[in-house]
Amino acid sequence: MTNNKKDITTLGQLKKTDYKSRSVKDELRENLIKQLQKGEGGFEGIVGFEDTVIPDLQTAILSRHNILLLGLRGQAKTRIARLLVNLLDEWMPYIEGSELYDDPLAPISWFGHHEVLAKGDDTPIAWVHRSERYTEKLATPDVTVADLIGDVDPIKAATMKLTYSDERVIHFGLIPRAHRGIFVINELPDLQARIQVSLFNILQERDIQIRGFKLRLPLDIQFVFTANPEDYTNRGSIVTPLKDRIESQILTHYPRSVEISRKITQQEASLTDEQRATVEADGLVKDLVEQIAFEARNSEYIDKKSGVSARLTISAFENLVSNAERRMLINHEASTFVRISDFLGVIPAITGKIELVYEGELEGPGKVANILIGKAIKTLMLQFFPDPEKSKKAKAPNPYAEIINWFSDGNNLSLVDELPQQEYKKNLNSVTGLKALVKKFHPRLTENQDLLLMEFVLHGLSEFSQLNKGFLDNGFAFSDMFNSLFNLQPDEDDLDIDDDRY
């Protein structure tokens, strides 16, 4: 075909090119074949599905199947569906003025047939970009057949003096208007069963019924549906005959490693250029954010059927950076770095994105969030430092002994949200043996990384019950474990976890 498609403005000119009519599924298939032969990915931005979901999706496209993406929330189902647009031709010709983007060589509507019959090779041709060939509808209980399929327009019938059985009085719904394109229904089980039934003939026989008038429209559509597993969705389910007509069901999943999850978060997190320039976020805190999600997906307090969305880690990381930025602005500092104490700012991002079981409801979302953060710290502690429990029982000298002894001597340490960097540094350096421990196991770090790991050690030791960690309104207080256990009158600073600000 000519390089400048805008030069082709009539059916006669189009016939002189190498253009051939083909279905949208054939179009997707042929373009995918070209991508695979060139070794191109085709689904940029989708991370962690290279060996699982993407091969299944490509197989379904090669088979020219309608597709159901089945998985828990936050598993990139809608993102995948939207990326299918990249497999369409960049430009597509259609009969100018057609509501249904009629193929000039194979029109299906009354308008398309009439234009070609009346004007022949002079039929005007227009071009539509592939971005306009994608239609998406979120399934909600109030969706009607008229929304999806169409309805008779009495005003049209009266104005044009036509009977209701005439195709020209129909106001077409979203599905007919998606002719020669991709149509996506998100959360399919939320559609009422009677609405799902209306899709049967479209998927199989490709005819539609409006107000009892049967209309044969050979619609050419690539359908993509998304849904949560039926055992979780209590609002409805996919009716069996409809599910039977969807040829390929592809299961999605959450990231299977912290590395992949971290890559997704860093790709999707919305940070300003100013935040990236002034707030340093070390790899440790990035991994901690991801580990929180992994702990949540295995927590006895959280409903596993509801899932823990990838949006949790994205929102949590954004909050983490913003909490550090807030402290920097309050203290009039030029730059700062994310501390472990900044994870207090992550709690609002966690509580809104987890669905608790009965035991979790008893604990409360704030306490569950704190528990998840603690478990994440405990897991990563073993990757950076020796196991405190094993070190305590080992014959070799305990590397944590000097730190624990400092607290045993009656010393306490408070680390609050808004602590200026110099005071934060001074407080951590006051703990005997803390900096030496970090330098022993991680000798080549920057000063900020040293301070971060020093605080991390204190949180880690508290998770292994070597130190007591009290929750303040705006931070944490560390003290000796045994003195706290036997102290019947706790200090005002040592508040119970139930009394923290969340």
Task: Dump pLDDT digits (tens) for 85-123.
Answer: 999 999 999 999 999 999 999 998 888 999 999 999 999
Statement: residue 275 has pLDDT above 80 = yes
Predicted local distance difference test score (pLDDT) of residue 171: 81
Residue 143: exposed, middle, or buried by beta-carbon count in 10 A (0-12, 13-18, 19+)?
Answer: middle
Length of the chain: 502
Statement: residue 490 has pLDDT above 90 = no
Distance CA 383, CA 446 (A): 19
- pLDDT confidence of 211, banded at 50, 70, 90? low
Mean predicted lDDT score pLDDT of the chain? 88
- Is the model more confident about 163 or about 301? 301
Q: Cα angle vertex 182, ends 180, 185, to 5°?
A: 135
Of 307, 289, 157, 142, nearest to 231 by C-alpha is: 307
Q: Which residues pair with 216 in a beta bridge?
A: 207
Phi and psi at residue 192, to the nearest 5°: -60, 150
Predicted local distance difference test score (pLDDT) of residue 484: 55
Detail the DSSP E strand segments found in 291-445.
336-337, 413-416
Predicted local distance difference test score (pLDDT) of residue 182: 97
- Is the model more confident about 395 or about 6? 395
Predicted local distance difference test score (pLDDT) of residue 95: 95
State how far the alpha carbon of 282 is from the alpha carbons of 288, 443, 447, in Å. 10, 16, 12
* CB of 408 closer than 8 Å to CB of 482: yes
281-308: average pLDDT: 93
- Is the model more confident about 232 or about 481? 481
Of all residues in the chain, the percent with pLDDT exceeding 90 is: 67
- Residue found under tokens 């430092």: 385
pTM, whole model, 2 decimals?
Answer: 0.85
Predicted local distance difference test score (pLDDT) of residue 93: 95
Q: In angstroms, how far is CA 468 from the centroid of its own chain? A: 37
Task: Give 74's DSSP letter.
Answer: T
Task: Dump pLDDT digits (tens) for 412-462.
Answer: 999 998 999 999 999 999 999 999 999 999 999 999 999 999 999 999 999
- Residue found under tokens 């996506």: 184
Of all residues in the chain, the percent with pLDDT exceeding 70 is: 91
Q: Which of 52-61, 348-357, 481-490 has the lowest mean pLDDT?
A: 481-490
Distance CA 167, CA 214 (A): 10
Statement: residue 5 has pLDDT above 80 = no
Distance CA 372, CA 202 (A): 47
Distance CA 160, CA 166 (A): 10
- Is the model more confident about 5 or about 9? 9
Detail the DSSP E strand segments found in 41-84.
67-70
Predicted local distance difference test score (pLDDT) of residue 213: 67
Residue 368: exposed, middle, or buried by beta-carbon count in 10 A (0-12, 13-18, 19+)?
Answer: buried
Task: Dump pLDDT digits (tens) for 230-271.
Answer: 654 555 688 888 888 899 999 999 999 999 999 999 999 999
Distance CA 343, CA 308 (A): 18
- Provide the pairing of β-strand 150-152 with 207-210: unpaired
126-151: average pLDDT: 90
Statement: residue 83 has pLDDT above 60 = yes
* CB of 69 closer than 8 Å to CB of 250: yes
314-343: average pLDDT: 95
SS3 call for 126? strand
373-400: average pLDDT: 92
Predicted local distance difference test score (pLDDT) of residue 292: 96
